[in-house]
Amino acid sequence: MAEKRVIDARGSFCPGPLMELIAGMKMAQVGDELEVLSSDKGSANDIPEWIHKAGHEHVGTREEAGVWHISVRKVK
């Protein structure tokens, strides 16, 4: 059954949130959804770029009170 995990990378600067996501993706199973919390605006653009390049599903991005929530589903 697909799991959902939150990776709290608030306070970390680029490329910290991306690297934390990738470490999480390595542990995840196909179908799992990971949500990265990032206070770094640059990462909010960079992470979807990586998701697209790596061939995973960008579920969505939203911003709440200066924190970006970037969700990705592991496809392969």
Partner 1 sequence: MAAKPISIIVVAGSRERLQMAAMIAAVGAVSGNPVTVFLSMNALQYFVKGDRTAAPPEGRFGELLDAKNAPPFRAMFEQAVTLGDAKIHPCSMAMDVMGLEPSALEPWLAEPLGLTKFLGDAADAQIWSF
**Residue in 13, 27, 42, 45 binding partner 1, rule: CB under 8 A:** 13
Which residues, at least 6 apart from 62, have a Cβ–Cβ distance to it below 8 Å? 68, 69
Judged by beta carbon, residue 13 or residue 62, the one nearer partner 1 is 13
Neighbouring-strand partners of residue 7: 36
67 binds partner 1 (CB under 8 A): no
CA dihedral 28, 34, 39, 40 (to 10 degrees): 70
What is the set of active-site residues? 14
Residues that bind partner 1 (CB under 8 A): 11-16, 18-19, 22-23, 26, 46, 50, 53-54
